[in-house]
Structure 1
Amino acid sequence: ADGEAAPKWGSCPAAGGCAAVAVLVGQRQGSVTRWVSMQYNPGWNGSSVNLLHVRAVGSNDTLHYVWSSIGAPAVLLVVTEGTSSALRVNWTQLLSPTPDGAIWIEPAGSVVYSTAVVFTKVTAYETSGRDETLPSLLHTANSSKVEFVLAGAAPRGNSSWFALEVATVEEAGVVQRLRLARSIDDEYTPTIFESRNDSSTLSFLQWKATAYGSQAPKREDSIQCHSGSLKAANWTLPRSSIVLAYFGEGVGSTYTINAVNISFGGEDGNIYEEKRYLSWSALLGFGQPPKDTFSPLVISIMAVALGTPMVLLVVGSCVVLFAQGKRYTEYEPIN
């Protein structure tokens, strides 16, 4: 019609148009290969908005990650059957006051599971009592890393601490839980935010209880982080355009929304006050979260701890036997 703006459409096609790289990741069940392609603002000519689509194609399924800071920062995760599914974006509708329906996957029947993680709020408080870089999160072909960086924000007082609120959107019938993964090979116990159905883990958000106060982090730059309990969100989500665009305007009533608060600083707040920098990383993915094996350092320590007593026992036994044999040979036979 006259006077109406022409819709702007974008897509990441099943083949062509995207730079691709093969990623081979070894897992306990064998090796997993995925072809990963990325598009920034597909179909939109400009950098005034931010939407990144990461498409990871396996042998019989496809993982879609849609990252965006349009509205509240959020990531949309969708897993589909087959290798030909594609993301579609109606930019005119996405940037309108009513974005529901602006993002979808084709073919629609290929969608097996979808969820979203929304970073709803960052709060700064005064103290009131209480990959290759660290924390070296283990990656698989079914996961992606998200990093939260706070740089240059003025603290509100001595030993300030900050809180990040993370909310998830899940389909009806999916159970969420927060658990600690215990390991003797971990200075900071991993925390895992899982979404499960009756038989298996569908998706996860995993992090270690530490942040860092440097762009080139070392262990002395570590800042403890604490996570609260998992709570049902009885409030309205901040307007995150990609969440509304995919799940629809009734996301709060149709889907389950849970949230957890993750806080940083407190007693370690002096590190941030000195460098005005804080980074925290998490692993976001589908299926079971990866499990770390023992590191070479821990294996060496265990070998020394267990092997040294055994060596001492063997050497001591040899010395005793040698001494006894020598004592017996000092006597002359009677006959």
Structure 2
Amino acid sequence: MCPVIWALSVICAGLCVQAGPGDYRRKVSLEYNPGSPNSSVNLLHIRAVGPGSTIHYVWSTIGAPTVLLVYTGSEQSQLRVNWTRLLSPAPHGAISIEPAQSVLYSTALIFTRIFEYSDVNNTANFSGTANKYFYPAYDLSDFRWGDANRTLNSSTLSASLSGRNESDAAGSFQNGSVTFRVSAHPGSGRDASSPRMLHTANCTTLEFLLEGVSPRGNRSRFAMEMVTLERKEGHKKMRSVRSIDDEYTPTIFAMVQLLPDFPNASHAQGFFQWKTVAYGSSEGKRDDALPCRYHDLQRVNGTLAVPSIVSAYFGDQLEQRYNLEAFNISFGIADGDFYEKNKYLSWSALIGYGTPPVDSFSILVICIMAVALGTPVVLLVIGAIVAPMLKKRFFSEYQPIN
């Protein structure tokens, strides 16, 4: 093999070993309303079976859109739903995982409200109180949600939960909707849509879409409120970590992770992860990128109007037995375009168990690095080969002056 090619091959191979994703896989299935033919409500069950464990994700729009994450130490654990109790005024205990002793960890994330405000001075400062006017918030538990079974795709392990606020007097949702698009993953890879987040077999992807909704002002911006649940002995913490800047999300260097904080945790926990970027069009191009901000966790005091699916699994008197904390994510950048321009907003996140995925260099960046690092080697090799030849030719063709 040519020394130059050999050198480049070694460099590329070394970088690929550093950058390549893991090959850990799970056997994943996606089921709609297990055990019930009722299509007036939505309950999606994702079951991801791996060696010695199973992760259950239960997504539902009964009440506000919610996801339960339950990790078990058994490959045979199963979801059980008592539909009569679940749809009753007292749904406590309607959802369970059997065998119960196999459950090692469980948590929930509730998508409660969407805020709309008029950003008068175009500062995109959601947390401040000056220079903006808040419209009445959209309570997602009041939405009417479509039949998710029609969107279920068994081959791509995906489905969409789409809803409209039909009680809105302004008619903002006449031609628009809010959608939570859910995708499961049997192995590692990258999402097809921007920001092309890296995922593993231990997580699912959530894509939040606000599409075609008529804003109540020509300077409207949006934010979303979420509530997270954790056992009393622990709580959630928000952490921002640096991310590499490559071809997938140029100029975006921050990744945010919502993680449990237990003093004496004996095993891994769940996580919620996202990049600090949203998009103002379906193409998801760099020019459409909208930086998003997260706002600190706040303890939920008083009685929370908890969706049925949360009380159905965790029981009643949640505030006494669990820590409930709310946080907001706002979308937009100062001096940027308002929602009115495209009437489109998309934002993606991961929910999963274990260690959150860490971004690696893309193939394009690896090749660029290989060329950059290999160029000096190439020049040295060429110099070592060509220099003796030139030297020999110079002396062989020398003719003494007579």
TM-score tier after normalising by the smaller chain length: 0.7 to 0.9
Counterpart of 2:60, as a letter, is S
Matched residues in 1 for 2:314 and 2:336: separation?
38
User: 1:141 aligned to 2:212?
Assistant: no
Does structure 2 conserve the Cα–Cα contact (< 8 Å) formed by 1:74 and 1:116?
yes
Matched residues in 2 for 1:28 and 1:192: separation?
22
Counterpart of 1:192, as a letter, is Q
Aligned counterpart, 1:150: 210
Deviation at residue 192 of structure 1 after TM alignment: 0.7
Aligned counterpart, 2:277: 210
1:244 to 303, 306, 311: 311
Aligned counterpart, 2:116: 124
The answer for unaligned runs of 5 or more in structure 2 is 1-18, 125-190
57-66 vs 38-47, greater mean Cα deviation: 38-47
Given the superposition, is the C-alpha separation of residues 248 and 303 from structure 1 closer, same or farther in structure 2, using an over 3 Å criterion?
Answer: same
Deviation at residue 214 of structure 1 after TM alignment: 2.1
User: Partner of 2:311: helix, strand, or coil?
Assistant: helix
Deviation at residue 46 of structure 1 after TM alignment: 2.5
136-145 vs 123-132, greater mean Cα deviation: 123-132
Aligned counterpart, 1:101: 93
2:104 to 106, 112, 122: 112
Does structure 1 conserve the Cα–Cα contact (< 8 Å) formed by 2:221 and 2:338?
no
* Paired residues for 1:148-227 under 5 Å: 148-185=208-245, 187-188=251-252, 189-197=254-262, 198-199=264-265, 201-227=268-294
User: Partner of 2:215: helix, strand, or coil?
Assistant: coil
Deviation at residue 136 of structure 1 after TM alignment: 0.5
Q: 1:136-157: CA deviations, max 9, x gaps?
A: 1111111001111111222233
Matched residues in 1 for 2:335 and 2:27: separation?
41
Structure 1 runs (4+) greater than 4 angstroms displaced: 27-30, 300-318
Q: 1:269-300: CA deviations, max 9, x gaps?
A: 62632221111110000010011111233334
Does structure 1 conserve the Cα–Cα contact (< 8 Å) formed by 2:244 and 2:359?
no
User: Partner of 1:253: helix, strand, or coil?
Assistant: helix
Q: 1:224-257: CA deviations, max 9, x gaps?
A: 1111112222243333111010011111221011
Matched residues in 2 for 1:305 and 1:162: separation?
43
Matched residues in 1 for 2:106 and 2:338: separation?
38
Matched residues in 1 for 2:335 and 2:357: separation?
29
Aligned counterpart, 1:24: none
Provide the TM-score with structure 1 as the length reference. Answer: 0.80
Deviation at residue 218 of structure 1 after TM alignment: 1.6
Matched residues in 2 for 1:192 and 1:90: separation?
34
Matched residues in 2 for 1:227 and 1:59: separation?
35
Structure 1 vs Structure 2 CA RMSD: 3.1
Does structure 2 conserve the Cα–Cα contact (< 8 Å) formed by 1:72 and 1:238?
no
Matched residues in 1 for 2:347 and 2:119: separation?
20
Deviation at residue 266 of structure 1 after TM alignment: 4.6
Aligned length: 305
Aligned counterpart, 1:21: none
Deviation at residue 171 of structure 1 after TM alignment: 1.4
* Paired residues for 1:1-335 under 5 Å: 31-128=23-120, 129-130=123-124, 131-185=191-245, 187-188=251-252, 189-197=254-262, 198-199=264-265, 201-267=268-334, 270=337, 272-303=339-370
The answer for unaligned runs of 5 or more in structure 1 is 1-26
280-289 vs 262-271, greater mean Cα deviation: 262-271
Given the superposition, is the C-alpha separation of residues 191 and 243 from structure 1 closer, same or farther in structure 2, using an over 3 Å criterion?
Answer: same
195-204 vs 223-232, greater mean Cα deviation: 195-204
Counterpart of 1:208, as a letter, is K
Matched residues in 2 for 1:184 and 1:219: separation?
16
Deviation at residue 95 of structure 1 after TM alignment: 1.1
Counterpart of 2:49, as a letter, is V
Given the superposition, is the C-alpha separation of residues 145 and 30 from structure 1 closer, same or farther in structure 2, using an over 3 Å criterion?
Answer: closer
Matched residues in 2 for 1:274 and 1:202: separation?
40
Does structure 2 conserve the Cα–Cα contact (< 8 Å) formed by 1:36 and 1:55?
yes
Matched residues in 2 for 1:55 and 1:108: separation?
16
Matched residues in 2 for 1:125 and 1:205: separation?
26
Percent identity of equivalent pairs: 52
Deviation at residue 303 of structure 1 after TM alignment: 4.9
Given the superposition, is the C-alpha separation of residues 105 and 270 from structure 1 closer, same or farther in structure 2, using an over 3 Å criterion?
Answer: same
Matched residues in 2 for 1:140 and 1:193: separation?
17
Counterpart of 2:106, as a letter, is S
Matched residues in 1 for 2:221 and 2:293: separation?
11
